[in-house]
Amino acid sequence: MTSTLRKLCAAMLFLTGAPILLSAQKPSNGEMRRLIDDNMKFAAAQYRVLQDSTPADRMPRTFQNGRSVTSNTEWWCSGFYPGSLWYIYEYTKDDAIKAEAERRLAILEKEKRYTGNHDIGFMIFCSFGNAYRITGDKKYKDVVDTAAVYQITRYRPTIKSIQSWNSSKDRKCPVIIDNMMNLEQLLWVAANGGDAKFRDIAVTHANTTLKNHYRPDHSTFHILDYDLSTGEVIKKVNGQGAHDTSAWSRGQSWGLYGFTMMYRFTKDETYLQHAKNIADFLLNHPNMPSDNIPYWDYNAPQIPNTLRDVSAGAIMASALLELGQYVGKKDRKKYVGAAAGMLHALGQPTYRANLGENGGFLLKQSVGFFLQNSEVDVPLTYADYYFLEGLTRYKKWYL
């Protein structure tokens, strides 16, 4: 690259505040530093907009049809907004961001005894867990410890799994791939002074998921329904996927993240190999776009004329960065290079909002439940959360 072109790119960066990718290869360390700095500062400013549009007793959920949509604290995503605030504070040391995080934790704390479904891990560990990691304040750890006690009330010994959702007329005992994410809370509590039973339950659940959820090509079903009396699988379906044999994108990312995290806590090579298998399935998938931000389902019938799911991409990028910590040099280059490219793509105008727009959310173009036209092509709190986590991880591990 000529010096003139470099100067032009530098001038564009100064004027726009946007990071410029200087090559088609993995972004350089300098490019990644600018990307992280730009997006964290943007997040601090943008989340003031999100704060102002969210009532004091509610949590942000999405922005749709020109209006903000909020939730109560029982909604499964309620921990992502305060968790994102903690990531922003960790980078910026902005006391106003910290104060907002503390206000939102205050209304969320009552959910530490929530037993309505499996998502207490998302709700509590992503929020209070980050608060404790950053501040060291024991009051936050106490909340996480309590949440783990209530989380395992949904463990069902006959199926060797934590029941995800309550039974209904259509399902007796559903377990979803998303549940892998919530095992982190149990493993962390066990590793930080808690009862070993939390770890035992998490490991048992992960082993059952590995045995039953995955296909030979290393893709996963979304939902398995179990017979509680016999422990047998009644049916395997792709509830939010295109069809029952497809690879629903966010579910694949949940699995990649979950089994990588399992290796972190257990050092069981089976989990590491499975995470690598998932990563390779995704990165080599013939329907994966060139920027590695996947369509909402890898087998969606309208590809390429269908929607991307930015949330699946953000989760996947963060997971690949952790996976890169545990593998050899060749695989590290592959996984971290892909994740860096994904983070760079997510930080560009195609996927990232302009300041003051998008209801205050950072990222656009996520897909909640395509088949029910629910939260389709909108911002979602967990897309923002895992994007910020990915930026934080890259700075910590690779710069």
- Please give the pLDDT value at position 30: 96
Contact 43, 385 (CB under 8 A): no
- The reply, when asked if residue 384 is annotated as ligand binding, is no
pLDDT at 15 over 60: no
Domains and CATH numbers, the chain: 29-398 (1.50.10.10)
Give the DSSP per-residue string, 33-88.
HHHHHHHHHHHHHHHHHHHHTS-TT-EEEEEETTEEEEE-TTSTTTTHHHHHHHHH
Which sequence positions are flagged as catalytic? 119, 178
Contact 321, 337 (CB under 8 A): no
Asked whether the bond before 304 is cis by omega within 30 degrees of 0, the reply is: yes
Residues facing 224 on adjacent strands:
175, 236
220 contacts 252 by C-beta, under 8 angstroms: yes
pLDDT at 5 exceeding the cut of 90: no
CA-CA distance, 398 to 167, in Å (whole number)?
44
Q: What strands, in cross-sheet order, belong to the sheet with 174-176?
A: 174-176, 223-226, 233-237
Position 16 scores a pLDDT of 35
Cα-based distances in Å from 241 to 248, 296, 387: 4, 8, 23
Render pLDDT for 128-149 as a digit per residue (tens, 0 to 9): 999 999 999 999 999 999 999 9
Please tell me the distance from the alpha carbon of residue 343 to that of residue 316, in angstroms, as a whole number: 10
Residue 8 has pLDDT above 50, yes or no: no
pLDDT band with cut points at 50, 70 and 90 for residue 62: very high
How many CA atoms are closer than 13 Å to the CA of 335, on its beta-carbon side? 29
Task: Indicate the average pLDDT of the chain.
Answer: 94
C-alpha gyration radius of the chain = 20
DSSP string spanning 186-221?
Answer: HHHHHHTT--HHHHHHHHHHHHHHHHHTB-TTS-B-
Q: Calculate mean pLDDT across residues 274-288.
A: 98
| Residue 76 marked in a binding site | no
Q: Which residues of 59-90 are buried (b: 16+ CB within 10 A; e: fewer)?
A: bbbbbeeeebbebebebbbbbbbbbbbbbbbb
* Closest alpha carbon to 339 in 34, 91, 26, 19: 26
Chain centroid to CA 252: how far?
A: 11
pLDDT of residue 25: 66
pLDDT at 174 over 60: yes
Q: What angle do CA 220, 206, 212 make, to 5 degrees?
A: 45
Cα gap 260→359, rounded to integer Å: 33
Contact residues for 66 (Cβ-Cβ < 8 A; gap 6+):
none
Kindly report, residue by residue over 211-250, the tens digit of the pLDDT.
Answer: 999 999 999 999 999 999 999 999 999 999 999 999 999 9
Q: How far is CA 375 from the centre of its chain?
A: 16
Q: What is residue 395's predicted lDDT score, i.e. its pLDDT?
A: 98
Task: Give the pLDDT of residue 22.
Answer: 32
**Among residues of the chain, what percentage have pLDDT more than 90?**
93
pLDDT digits (tens, 9 = 90+) for 310-345: 999 999 999 999 999 999 999 999 999 999 999 999
- DSSP H helical ranges for 53-176: 80-92, 95-108, 120, 130-135, 138-151
Q: How far apart are CA 283 and CA 59, in angstroms?
A: 34
What does the buried/exposed string (b/e) look like for 126-138 if buried means 16 or more CB atoms within 10 Å of the residue's CB?
bbbbbbbeebeee
13 pLDDT higher than 70: no
- Calpha distance 333→3 (Å, rounded): 28
pLDDT at 26: 83
- In whole angstroms, give the CA distance from residue 39 to residue 227: 47
What's the farthest any 2 CA atoms get from each other in the chain?
Answer: 72
Q: What digits encode the pLDDT tens for the residues 90-113? A: 999 999 999 999 999 999 999 999
Q: Which residue type does 336 have? A: V
The arithmetic mean of pLDDT across residues 72-97, rounded, is: 98
Burial class of residue 356 (count of CB atoms within 10 Å of its CB; 0-12, 13-18, 19+):
exposed
pLDDT tens-digit series, residues 357-392: 999 999 999 999 999 999 999 999 999 999 999 999
Q: Does residue 309 carry a pLDDT above 50? A: yes
Residues 6+ apart with CB under 8 A from 88: 40, 43, 44, 47, 94, 97, 388
Q: Does 264 belong to an annotated binding site?
A: no
8 Å CB contact between 222 and 251: yes
Please state, in angstroms and rounded to a whole number, the distance separating the CA atoms of residues 286 and 297: 12
